[in-house]
Structure 1
Amino acid sequence: MLNIQPVVTLETSMGSFSVRLHADRAPLTAANFLAYVDSGRYDGSSIFRIVNPRNQTPSDPVRIRVIHGGTRPLAASNLPMIPLESTLQTGLSHRHGTLSMGREEPDSAEGDFFVCIGDQPHFDHGGARQPDGQGFAAFGEVCEGMAVVEAIFAAAGPEEYLAPEAEVRILRAYRRA
């Protein structure tokens, strides 16, 4: 039987946290994330961006609170982009601990992901974070280790993007049995 809520553990240089995926509600996005996990593409990557209201670009009218990591957009080793499974389709929403896929344009998600710190409805379909109003693809949530995620968030610097030496390394990502 197919596990419709697989769990993935991410071991980082600041500790481990686990995410439960909603493969039943966001099957394309969950399968994409698992393809990155299973191929080892997250091993050795990092949390490279931590956004809070203090370090966010002043011209951005929508204040967010996230940790953002995985593969870099448009990296040569990334898998093909996937279609957007919006929260309108899935019925999921961006709440505290939600795992979501990064994107620029609709249907442009690759291997970068983010975790919400606090409820973030502006990431949902119709929200103000993306000018196209399509939102982002929520596809899971932190099920263990939220204190580690919050500690990573607390390590934010003066800029959204961390200096290479300050990035939080993802040592290993794997499915749990």
Structure 2
Amino acid sequence: MRKAIIFCITALVIGFHAVAQELPRVEMQTSLGDIVVAIDTINAPVTAKNFIKHIENGTYENALFYRVVRLNNQPANEIKIEVIQGGIYTEPRFESIKPIAHETTEMTGLKHLDGTLSMARSEPGTASTEFFICVGDQPELDFGGKRNPDGQGFAAFGQVISGLDVARKIQQQKDKQQTLVDKVVISSIKIY
């Protein structure tokens, strides 16, 4: 009984410490304005730490927002979403960078809400550098959602806390089959 009480008290202390812990913030400076995101290292540790590692290692030097998905530019998709996608896009090819384990929203408890930062992927466990920001709530990107046939959803790991208007502005830029005609350069991406 005493061990059970000590365990419960320890669990509560750890839980309170995690809630009180401030999440790291990342600022993305673009030509259309700045976007600040809180990175959830508590609920999505694998995905969040991967993103932070790439910032610290300079992977995102010369990064871009290069893809926009709107209701009107995905005619072949039965399940429609709205996001802007960014990352390194070109050299070094992101496919050659070691991928991470897939943290589903079922595992993390996070959801793809308006302003959620998440990892792009093909198959589960293939995400490495490319990320996207949700424009509006996107439940079909959560675990069990129908956007991806495997039903595993995408790995949410952050939330825009300022600059969602910038994400919306990026989403409205001219595209050709979801690829921006003029890519939006992320001139600086830093942790603070």
TM over 0.5: yes
Letter in 2 for 1:124: D
Number of the residue aligned with 1:21? 39
Give the Å deviation of 1:62: 1.1
Aligned with 2:184 (options 148, 160, 168): 168
**Alpha-carbon distance in structure 1 between the residues aligned to 2:94 and 2:141:** 27
- Counterparts in 2 of 1:112 and 1:121: CA distance versus 1, 3 Å: same
Matched, 1:64 2:81: yes
- The question of whether the paired residues in 2 share the 8 Å contact of 1:4 and 1:22 is answered with no
Q: SS at the partner of 1:28?
A: helix
Q: SS at the partner of 1:8?
A: strand
Matched, 1:90 2:108: yes
Q: SS at the partner of 2:179?
A: coil
Q: What TM-score results when the alignment is normalised by the length of structure 1?
A: 0.91
- Counterparts in 2 of 1:65 and 1:77: CA distance versus 1, 3 Å: closer
Q: SS at the partner of 2:118?
A: strand
Give the Å deviation of 1:144: 1.2
1:134-145 equivalences under 5 Å are 134-145=152-163
The percent of aligned pairs where both chains have the same amino acid is 39
**Alpha-carbon distance in structure 2 between the residues aligned to 1:154 and 1:59:** 20
Give the Å deviation of 1:5: 1.2
**Where does structure 1 lack aligned partners over 5 or more consecutive residues?**
none
Q: SS at the partner of 2:126?
A: coil
- Counterparts in 2 of 1:168 and 1:25: CA distance versus 1, 3 Å: same
**Alpha-carbon distance in structure 1 between the residues aligned to 2:22 and 2:150:** 30
- The question of whether the paired residues in 1 share the 8 Å contact of 2:85 and 2:132 is answered with yes
Matched, 1:157 2:190: no
Relative contact order, CA 8 A, sep 6+: which one is greater? 1
**Alpha-carbon distance in structure 2 between the residues aligned to 1:97 and 1:76:** 23
Superposed structure 1 runs of 4+ greater than 6 Å apart: none
- Which of the pair has more CA radius of gyration? 2
**Alpha-carbon distance in structure 2 between the residues aligned to 1:142 and 1:43:** 20
What is the count of residue pairs matched by the alignment?
Answer: 173
**Alpha-carbon distance in structure 2 between the residues aligned to 1:124 and 1:142:** 17
**Alpha-carbon distance in structure 2 between the residues aligned to 1:41 and 1:77:** 13
